[in-house]
Amino acid sequence: MINQEHKRIVTGDRPTGKLHIGHYFGSLQNRVKLQDEYETFILVADVQALTDNFNNPEKVKQNVREIVMDNLAVGLDPNKSTIYLQSMVHEVAELTVFYSNLVTIARLQRNPTVKTEIAQKKEVFGESVTYGFLGYPVSQAADITALDGTLVPVGEDQLPLIEQCREIVRKFNSIYGETLYEPQAYLGENKRIKGLDGNEKMGKSLGNAIYLADSEEEITQKVMNAITDPARIKKDDPGNPNICMVSYYHNLFSNKEEQEAVCSECRAGKRGCVACKRQLAKNMIEALRPIRQRRKYYEERPEEVKEILMEGTKKAQKIAAGTMERVKEAMKLDYFKN
């Protein structure tokens, strides 16, 4: 049932906020790079977003459009890549039920990403996490396999979830016969982008992000407030670029020559932080300009955005229906077929 030649990207984002440069370097950039080589499906994970935002459905709804626009803004071509809405692919819910027999509660509780996230979400869950949130890796496995995904471009925090998906696939195939594709994670060079405040992860809800939708003024203002070497007080104090967020982002947005000058002049106390920040803001504004411009195009055309998502969802539904036929046959749930 499995075609060894088959190649397809399935990945996505939770509509819990606009996307930022962490998402860009962690995953979006790779989606764009690979969209000519791979058939590409991007899911807007609204059902997954509800697992920890069940009491705020309006937030999830509002952000669906933002996520679609962010993906289009970075250069995903709607004629090549498909963007779709998770909640409208019903097979995902059905597969989640089937897969839940193949995962133990202890294994879910040991998943390092789930563990960290539960610890961060005490205010949502209190002392006892919901069944839905604990089980979201299972529904994410359903997302990827429903669409027969083979490659999943993601940031580093997603690796334990992809690993859990692979385990579910192997277990399914060993019990019911070769039916599902086992996907692989695809990590970029910059698998985890730090926040403006020095936090290990730039996050949608941490107030430490530069969003793809930010204006030139917002970018400048955020860069001017970024954390630098705290021991450096006067301009001619020697600085340590290794603990400076401005230097960190120069490595992502400035050319090699500039990066080297930033480091050596900072260490020698020859470059002030303000000048260094201004240069970074200028480079960031420049690099993000085409993204901002494409985003603006779609902001002005909400109907076009809706149409892209609707068409994409229809395409995803067809593929998921095919997977479900294979799965039901393998699981002997095809009573009326023969």
Contact set with ligand ATP (CB under 6 A)? 13-14, 16, 22-23, 25-27, 154-155, 157-158, 192-193, 201-205
Q: Is 157 or 182 the residue whose CB approaches ligand ATP more closely?
A: 157
Neighbouring residues of 111: CB distance < 8 A, sequence distance ≥ 6: 137, 160, 161, 164
Closest of 141, 187, 145 to residue 164, by C-alpha: 141
Going through 45-97 in order, the beta strands assigned E by DSSP cover 81-85
Q: Is 132 or 177 the residue whose CB approaches ligand ATP more closely?
A: 132
Residue 227: both structure tokens together: 């954390």
Neighbouring residues of 135: CB distance < 8 A, sequence distance ≥ 6: 96, 100, 103, 108
Task: Supply the minimum distance, in Å, between the C-beta of residue 255 and ligand ATP.
Answer: 22
What whole-number distance in Å separates Cα of residue 105 and Cα of residue 167?
14
- Cβ-count burial 241-269 (b if 16+ within 10 Å, e if not): beebbbbbbbebbbeeebbebbbebbeee
Task: Supply the minimum distance, in Å, between the C-beta of residue 52 and ligand ATP.
Answer: 8
Q: Which residue is nearest to ligand ATP (CB)?
A: 26
Q: Is 23 or 271 the residue whose CB approaches ligand ATP more closely?
A: 23
Task: Supply the minimum distance, in Å, between the C-beta of residue 179 and ligand ATP.
Answer: 26
Task: Supply the minimum distance, in Å, between the C-beta of residue 25 and ligand ATP.
Answer: 6
Q: Is 201 or 271 the residue whose CB approaches ligand ATP more closely?
A: 201
Task: Supply the minimum distance, in Å, between the C-beta of residue 101 and ligand ATP.
Answer: 26
Q: Is 74 or 180 the residue whose CB approaches ligand ATP more closely?
A: 74
Q: Is 219 or 273 the residue whose CB approaches ligand ATP more closely?
A: 219
Q: Which residues lie across from 40 on neighbouring strands?
A: 9, 81
Task: Supply the minimum distance, in Å, between the C-beta of residue 205 and ligand ATP.
Answer: 6
Q: Is 191 or 278 the residue whose CB approaches ligand ATP more closely?
A: 191
Task: Supply the minimum distance, in Å, between the C-beta of residue 172 and ligand ATP.
Answer: 23
Task: Supply the minimum distance, in Å, between the C-beta of residue 249 and ligand ATP.
Answer: 12
Closest of 239, 241, 156, 249 to residue 208, by C-alpha: 249
- How long a stretch of residues is the chain? 338
Q: Is 202 or 281 the residue whose CB approaches ligand ATP more closely?
A: 202
